[in-house]
Amino acid sequence: MECIINRRAQFSASHRYWLPELSEAENQAKFGPCTRAPGHGHNYVLYVSMLGELDQYGMVLNLSDVKKVIKQEVTSQLDFSYLNDVWPEFQDTLPTTEYLAQVIWQRLSPHLPIIKIQLFEHPELWADYTGNGMEAYLTISTHFSAAHRLALPTLSYDENVEIYGKCARPNGHGHNYHLEVTVKGEVDSRTGMIADLEELQTAIAQHVVEPFDHTFLNKDIPYFEKVVPTAENIAVHIRDLLRDPIAQTGASLHKIKLIESPNNSAEVYCTANTVPGTMAARPELASV
């Protein structure tokens, strides 16, 4: 029987975004504060996912062996390093989160049956790489606070309570929504980026966070005057709002995950058939 196992590791390292062929003004316009010398640092968290058959001892791999490989090939070399200089791969391509995830895959794949590398630069920015050429995924995490009421105007109060419970109460209730926006694209061979990070963050802020934050969704967001603002419907609407602005950055929107509370979240995908068992024509709703 096949099973996926995951191993966590971490390292601290610094890097700088600077292309010598660009002027100081051009570098600052492209990379912002990340151009400052001698660089800046992060506490990176790495997750290595591996697939294999369970053996007679109930293991895919001996985790002690996995730990040694990851330390030998990755963390012992990167920990307390200046990434731009530590590996030859970063001489021509900047050590962005997404490119670093790809290079870690290349370093580990001869030794481990990896199926995914997930690398957190910090809790609000991480990359995923699954071995598909230069394609990688980048996730930006943000949040907004809003109130809503779950009720269909065509139903009575009692009927809405039967469907939505306490969420149907007339004056609504609020949440601190946690939003994760995942984009995918080709890693640029020079900048190491899928798309300009500042442009991605600006698009999310302008089209979602600023319009949604501190609102009563049913009354302040026109879309929800006729659509019940469940977590699922909010996620679908955010997907539709961001699809074109994300495309203008050069990346493509892959997934929206909206966490309404620690117990409730919704995911919608932008690529047909991304979620197993869904139809290409429907908005692919995942775990709710």
Catalytic residues: 167, 214, 260
Give the Cα separation of 127 and 274 in Å (integer): 18
Give the Cα separation of 149 and 206 in Å (integer): 24
- Cis peptide bond N-terminal to 38, omega within 30: yes
Query: What would you measure as the largest C-alpha separation in the chain, in angstroms?
Result: 67
**What burial class does residue 220 get, using C-beta atoms within 10 Å of its C-beta: 0-12 exposed, 13-18 middle, 19+ buried?**
middle
Give the Cα separation of 161 and 258 in Å (integer): 24
Crossing angle, helix 197-204 and helix 231-247, to 10 degrees? 140
For the residues of 135-169, what is the DSSP string, one character each? EEEEEEEEEEEEEE----TTS-HHHHHHHHGGGG-
